[in-house]
Chains A and B, each alone.
Chain A
Amino acid sequence: MKYTFKTILTLALSLSFSALFAQETPKEEDFFKINKVRVPEGPVLEVGGLTTLPNGDLALSTRRGEVYIVQNPTSAKPYWRRFAYGLHEILGIAYKDGALYVAQRGELTKLVDKDQDGKAEIYETVYAWPLSGHYHEYSFGPKIMKDGTFMVTANVAFGDEEWWRAESRVPMRGWAMNITPGGKMTPYAAGFRSPAGISAIDSAFYYTENQGDWVGSGGLWKINKGDFMGHPASLRWTSLPNSPVKLQSDFFYSQMDERRIKNEQGRYIKPENRVNESFKTLFEMKKVFPELKLPSAWLPYGILGISSSEAVKIPANTFGPFAGQILAGDQGMSIISRIFLETVKGQEQGVAFLFRKGFRSGVLRLEWGTDGSLFVGETNRGWGSAGDANEGLERLVYNNKTPFEMKAVRAMPDGFEVEFTAPVDRKSAEDLASYNAESFIYKYHPVYGSPPVNTEKLKIAGVKVSADGLKARIIVQGLRQYYIHTLTLDGLRSQDGFYSLVHPVAYYTLNQIPDGDKLSMSEVSTKNSAATPAAAPSTKKATAPVKGGAAAIKTTSTKAPTFKEVEGLLTKNTCLSCHNPTKRQIGPPFAEIAKRKYSPEKIFSLIHNPQPQNWPGYSTEMPPMPQVTKAEAFKIAGYINSLR
């Protein structure tokens, strides 16, 4: 009986599969190829900085303190020359007026080859900032602003007993500093935690932040002078006379509980996520702290990154439909995301998509080559990454074919307008079942990271597809200002080739809902194949064949689920960003977890409240994942425990 049912089901699924996927949808690598850059044996290329020189050479700085100049870097035989060495963990490099500038841990340094022998002999300190000597006091930059001044950002240290709590032990840790070529430093903005990726884009200053205490998730922020980016450690120095930030620590902590709590032994307790609590969000606190800056675009944790890095703007001449948009790297997930920004009611906001995964190490630096390819500087030392090499220099090359992608998503008074890179298949695009929407936000609290909270599924009420098939405007009910709106377009197909989108999910940060005309219901399609069982059964099955199949099988079997059966679940809950079945990545492989012989109940509780101290060999903490339901956790536990 059982057997027959399963056989029929499997047969049905495979038929629908073969019918639909006769021609496979092209993937990332069919458009954007990751090439290596030839490197001679010797240097340890833990890339900390990349910059293209006016002549097309690539200057590169490393965490080992070396600076290389790579001549003809896009050719088959680049020539490598060591320009400078012996510097302290250089995490950025820039070129200006014949000199290279690098940020070491403790200073901005100008490197000059005065005697023209191809190597620097002047190592001039432009400005040295204080340090306490804590390992985490990394410094990033410089980026050169329009006025010729330099921007440098400074990581915070961590507590001794409170090793989880970021602190600013000396002035300017947790700050952006603006430094003139003559060495005059002016504090620029505060509230940084781990600002590893800073950028000058269209003469504005941007950065990406890493998830951690007070930072629910990574994202892209635009920085103006006097902004407070959200982490309170740096506020310790806002009473200094030259501080452009006026918000004081005392006031901050009078409004926000920093949860400095001791146990009975007098030891501090690490703050953990509380599942049922009333919490604050960044946007709520902005009403109390006007200097607090909201991100232009969140890069949802575990989905578009776990440790966001450098962002660059795509130049006009390359990467086809995406010219003018922003690419942002991620160290932990070895990926690059793409961001489209727009300004609504004077506020910047936008949408983020996955763009390219599969880099060999952690993506830290991005820089354009003169041929329109993108250099990717990589390192994962100390943190681990999905790409398991320790370091690397790669090059992302576009083949000028157009991938079927969401080119942009724009906020509308009643929903969103999605623009595509190629015309859509009208039938799929006019079907509401092709669209899914939900929204969520993160907590603003002293806990390491935040789970997505206040998650709501949103109803798609109608869709209007443009005559040229390049735009679909959808009415989304229950838009929430400031929230991240996730649009999933699994069912959408291209007109040519009936392809799926290469990346079907968009994350729109809705800082402002625009005013203007709303669509009338008379002009939109409200057809929904999901609501009418008779319509387009094959399309419906194709959207989630594995899910449906697995669920059906599960009811008839007590066997532990296979990886294929839980893959969707693991992806949805972002487990796979850090865990692999057998390989060590950011976190331990599932096979290692299996050896701990946790009960499903225990695994459920560990997903909600991870205990990083159980895994001393891993350096990145797992954030709490209370959004994983008990049923899901038990299913995941069943899979994990089948591996031992």
Chain B
Amino acid sequence: MNLNVTKAGLTATLWLCGTVLALGQRIDLKDLSAFKNPGSSWSVAGNVFADLNAENILKPTKGDGILVNQSTAKKAGSDLYTVNEYGDVAVELDYLTSKGANSGIYLQGNYEIQIDDAWGLRNATSHNNGGIYQRWDDSKPEAEKGYGGVAPRQNASKAPGLWQHIKIVFQAPKFDAAGKKISNAKIISIDLNGVTIHENVELFGATRGAAGAEKASGPLRLQGDHGSVAFKNISITPLTALPKMRQGNDDDPIYINAESNNMLRSFVDVAPGVRSVHAISVGGPEKTAYSYDLDNGTLLQGWHGGFVDATPMFHDRGNGTSRALGSVTHFTAKPVLAIAKLANAQDKWNADTTGTGFFTKGYILDSQERPAFKYYIYGNTVTDDVKILANGQGISREISLEKPAEGLYFLLASAAAVEDLGNGLYLLGDKAYYIQLADGSAKPVIRDADGRKQLIVAMGSKLSYTLLF
């Protein structure tokens, strides 16, 4: 009984304000004591790494704080149930999958929110990450057995091995004194990686693979038999009052789509109080997009899902900004000059463009109307060719200099943490995104800067890498 639920009401309120759950609401993952008879596939770990190129691999390291399930075809794992049981509840947690894995979060043991490796999928179904899994009727002919699943509004999934964040608000079914169900269970809302993917979905019955009959309360259940997955920061908060539907104003939203390649200049807010004022967002039918800062040649963010919400810019006077319409991965906390001339790999990075002769020359569209950016710096012309990967799994970048130059370095990333996974693959932040350098690239340097880590690399005449997220 490690669960502390005394501040449930307060926490629920905080949650609704978008605030992170107060400490003490989390399942303590020092051990597995919050769970009922955990199977041997489950353990706690200090860290965990997936392999982007090999199915179902999760490599845990010693420690605690992360719940890991190792399940293989040969030795399938088992599902994990909390000791505590819940009625109306808010569940918030981080999870990551191995490549190709499949798992799920069952509310009350009965209603499954699907977890799987849906990285780059253009269209997600109810069987994919964030979907409300289908129900099952054995009495029907084979083709009609499965029904009633609900697809997420968009595929907000991230790559295997990256933490994904989910928030679920669930309303339990209600029963009269005779035990007869008087109201159905309901998904009030699910947000995946910052994107609302379900709202107000009535669950007419338990989904396939339910633990048992529908009831007023039940344990949270994590699926463990379909591949290796990991969880952390699990907060389960019983709700004393259900939140009201999210309210907005009456303004019609102005969404810009990218069914074909599209781009939009606007201000882009990078972080609170940090606004890129010469920015462009670029998206395409891969349902992946990015924002780029033309004042520094810096990639600001990438995302999966829709393109942009231009309501803040195009409604009324507007404030000049647009917003990413998807699950956003931030590449930087502020725009920083991409290229600097350094005496050595430990030399300080430029605070701004002073002394660099930097100015932007805009961009040129290719035959598919995708921009390649151009700017001058240190007397050199730089072409920064950013492309969305055809499989939608990220973006590629090829930076080329008009003429070779000495002492130029490129800032690949600035993050709280950088992990070298070998073979030119790096993991940035708290497993937020990957950088994969092209074969034959110079070896980058990981260095400390202002309490963060920088990943920099000496520039030849050309540099190629991908950002995977």
Binding site for B on A (CB under 8 A): 44, 63-65, 85-89, 104-107, 109-110, 120-125, 128, 130-137, 183, 381-383, 619
Please name all residues of chain B whose beta carbon is closer than 8 Å to the beta carbon of A382 when the two chains form the complex: 316-318
State the Cβ distance, A312 to closest chain B Cβ, in Å. 26
Q: Kindly provide the distance from the CB of A612 to the nearest chain B CB, expressed in whole angstroms.
A: 15
CB distance A121 to B317 under 8 Å? no
Chain A residue numbers with a CB within 8 Å of B342 are: none
Judging by beta carbons under 8 Å apart, are A135 and B319 in contact? Answer: yes
Q: A123-B365, A381-B316 are in contact. List 16 more A-B contacts (CB 8 A).
A: A44-B314, A86-B262, A86-B264, A88-B266, A105-B267, A106-B277, A107-B360, A109-B362, A123-B363, A123-B364, A125-B294, A125-B360, A130-B277, A134-B320, A382-B317, A619-B317
Of the A-B pairs whose beta carbons lie under 8 Å apart in the complex, a sample of 28, sorted by A's number, is A44-B314, A63-B314, A64-B314, A85-B263, A86-B262, A86-B264, A104-B265, A105-B267, A105-B277, A105-B320, A106-B277, A107-B278, A107-B360, A107-B362, A109-B362, A110-B362, A121-B365, A122-B364, A122-B365, A123-B365, A124-B362, A128-B278, A128-B295, A131-B278, A134-B320, A135-B317, A135-B320, A381-B316
Using a Cβ cutoff of 8 Å, how many contacts connect chains A and B? 81
> CB within 8 Å of A: which of B256-270?
262-267
Does A88 lie within 8 Å of B316, measured CB to CB?
A: no
Contact assessment for B265 and A87 in the assembled complex, using a CB-CB cutoff below 8 Å: yes
Least CB distance from B317 to A in Å reads 3
- Point out the residues of chain A lying under 8 angstroms from B280, CB to CB: 86
CB nearest neighbor in A for B314: A64
Enumerate B265-286 residues with CB–CB distance to A below 8 Å. 265-267, 275, 277-278, 280
Of listed B266, B277, B363, residue having the most chain A CB within 10 A: B277
Smallest Cβ distance from B384 to chain A, in angstroms? 13
Give A124's nearest chain B residue, CB to CB: B362
- State A132–B276 Cα separation when bound (angstroms): 9
CA distance A89 to B322 in the complex (A): 12
| A525→B359 CA distance, assembly (Å) | 69
Whether B5 is near chain A, meaning CB under 8 Å from some CB there, is no
Chain B CB within 10 Å, residue with most, of A85, A86, A109, A183:
A86
Query: Which listed residue, B264, B318, B362, touches A123 by the CB 8 Å rule?
Result: B362
Residues B277 and A132 in contact, CB atoms below 8 Å apart: yes
State the Cβ distance, B54 to closest chain A Cβ, in Å.
40
Per the 8 Å Cβ criterion, residues 288-340 of B in contact with A are: 294-295, 313-314, 316-320
Q: Pick the residue among B265, B295, B317, B319 that contacts A88 (CB under 8 A).
A: B265
Most buried by A among B265, B359, B369: B265
Complex: A254 Cα to B264 Cα, angstroms: 45
Contacting residue for A86 out of B263, B295, B360, CB 8 A:
B263
Partner of B364 from the list A121, A132, A134, A183 (CB cut-off 8 Å) is A121
User: Chain A residues with Cβ under 8 A from B267's Cβ?
Assistant: 105, 133
Which residue of chain A is the closest to B365 with respect to CB atoms?
A121
Complex CA–CA separation, A109 to B294 (angstroms): 13
A9 to B343, CA, bound (A): 97
Which secondary structure dominates chain B's binding surface? Answer: strand
Give Cα A122 to B317, complex, Å: 29
Q: Which residues does chain A contribute within 8 Å of B275, judged by CB atoms? A: 133
Q: Which B residues touch A109, using CB under 8 A?
A: 362
Q: Does B59 contact A (CB under 8 A)?
A: no
- Complex Cα distance, B275 from A383, in Å, reads 25
- Which of B277, B314, B369, B371 is within 8 Å of A131, CB to CB? B277
Residues in B neighbouring A88, C-beta threshold 8 A? 265-266, 320
Name the distance in Å between B334's Cβ and chain A's nearest Cβ.
Answer: 13
Q: Is B361 an interface residue (CB 8 A)?
A: yes
- Select one of B262, B266, B361 contacting A125, CB under 8 A: B361
Q: Say how far B301's CB is from chain A's closest CB, in angstroms.
A: 17
Contacts of A135 in B (CB 8 A): 317-320
Known contacts: A86-B264, A121-B364. The answer to whether A128 contacts B359 by CB under 8 A is yes
**Chain A's nearest CB lies how many Å from the CB of B122?**
22
Partner of B316, one of A105, A121, A183, A619: A619
Q: Are A89 and B362 in contact (CB under 8 A)?
A: no
- Give A85 to B371 CA distance when docked, in angstroms: 12
A133 contacts across to B, CB distance below 8 A: 267, 275, 277, 320
Question: Which residues of the partner chain B approach A85 to less than 8 Å between Cβ atoms?
Answer: 262-263
Q: In the bound complex, what is the Cα–Cα distance between A204 and B168 (angstroms)?
A: 64
Per the bound structure, the CA–CA distance linking A104 and B263 in Å amounts to 15
Q: Are B317 and A383 in contact (CB under 8 A)?
A: yes
Chain B residue with minimal CB distance to A619?
Answer: B317
The smallest C-beta distance from B373 to any residue of chain A, in angstroms, reads 10
Q: 9 closest Cβ contacts across the A-B interface?
A: A382-B317, A88-B265, A125-B362, A86-B263, A133-B275, A131-B277, A121-B365, A135-B319, A124-B362
The chain B residue with its CB closest to the CB of A104 is: B265
Instruction: Quote the shortest CB–CB distance from B264 to chain A (angstroms).
Output: 5
Quick one: which of A104, A110, A125 has the most chain B CB within 10 A?
Answer: A125
Q: Which residue from chain B places its CB closest to the CB of A44 in the assembled complex?
A: B314
Provide the B232-270 mask, 1 if CB < 8 A to any CB of A, else 0: 000000000000000000000000000000111111000
Q: Is there an interface contact between B359 and A183, defined as CB atoms closer than 8 Å?
A: yes
Cα of A121 to Cα of B263 in the assembled complex, Å? 12
B residues within 8 A CB of A89? 313, 318, 320
Which residues of chain A are near B361, meaning CB under 8 Å? 124-125
Distance between Cα atoms of A273 and B280 in the complex (Å): 43
CB nearest neighbor in B for A87: B265
Which of A64, A123, A134, A136: most chain B CB closer than 10 A? A123
Residues of B with C-beta under 8 A to A130:
277
Complex Cα spacing A44 to B24, Å: 52
Whole-angstrom distance between the alpha carbons of A382 and B317 in the complex?
Answer: 4
Closest to B295 in A: A128
How far is B294's CA from A87's CA once the two chains are assembled, in angstroms?
A: 13
User: A109 — nearest CB in chain B belongs to which residue?
Assistant: B362
Contact B362 A381 (CB under 8 A): no
Q: How far is the CA of A509 from the CA of B273 in the complex (A)?
A: 46
Is there contact, CB below 8 Å, between A86 and B265? yes
Q: State A133–B319 Cα separation when bound (angstroms).
A: 8
CB distance from A591 to the nearest CB of B (A): 22
Instruction: Looking at the assembled complex, report how far the CB atom of B268 sits from the nearest CB atom of chain A, in whole angstroms.
Output: 10
A residues in contact with B317, CB < 8 Å: 135-136, 381-383, 619
A84 to chain B minimum Cβ distance, whole angstroms, is 10
B184 to chain A, nearest CB (A): 41
Q: How far apart are the CA atoms of A51 and B90 in the complex, in Å? A: 57
For B369, list chain A residues within 8 Å (CB): 121
Residues on B with beta carbons closer than 8 Å to the beta carbon of A107:
278, 360, 362
Q: In chain B, what residue has the closest Cβ to A107?
A: B278
Smallest CB gap from A183: residue in B = B359
| A179 → B minimal CB distance (Å) | 13
Chain A contacts of B266 at CB under 8 A?
A: 88
Q: For B316, what are the chain A residues with a Cβ–Cβ distance below 8 Å? A: 381-382, 619
Instruction: Determine the distance from Cα of A86 to Cα of B359 in the docked complex, in whole angstroms.
Output: 21
| Given A88-B265, A88-B266, A133-B275, also A128-B364 (CB < 8 A) | no
**Complex Cα–Cα for A619 and B280 (A):** 29
> What residues of chain A lie closer than 8 Å to B265, measured between beta carbons?
65, 86-88, 104-105
A381 to B361, CA, bound (A): 31
Residues on B with beta carbons closer than 8 Å to the beta carbon of A134: 320
Contacts of A104 in B (CB 8 A): 265
- Minimum C-beta distance from B276 to chain A (A): 8
Which B residues lie within 8 Å of A131 (CB)? 277-278
**Contact flag A128-B360 (CB < 8 Å), given A86-B262, A104-B265, A135-B320:** yes
CB distance from A150 to the nearest CB of B (A): 15
Residues of A within 8 A of B295 (CB): 128
Q: Which residue of B lies closest to A138 (CB)?
A: B320
User: What's the Cα separation between A86 and B363 when bound, in Å?
Assistant: 12
- Taking CB atoms, residues of chain B closer than 8 Å to A110 are 362
Chain B residues contacting A64 (CB-CB under 8 Å) are 314
What A residues does B359 contact at CB under 8 A?
A: 125, 128, 183
By beta carbon, the residue of chain A nearest B316 is A382
Distance of A317 Cα from B320 Cα, bound (Å): 41
Question: Quick one: closest A residue to B364, CB to CB?
Answer: A122
Which residues of the other chain, A, contact B264 by a CB distance below 8 angstroms?
Answer: 65, 86
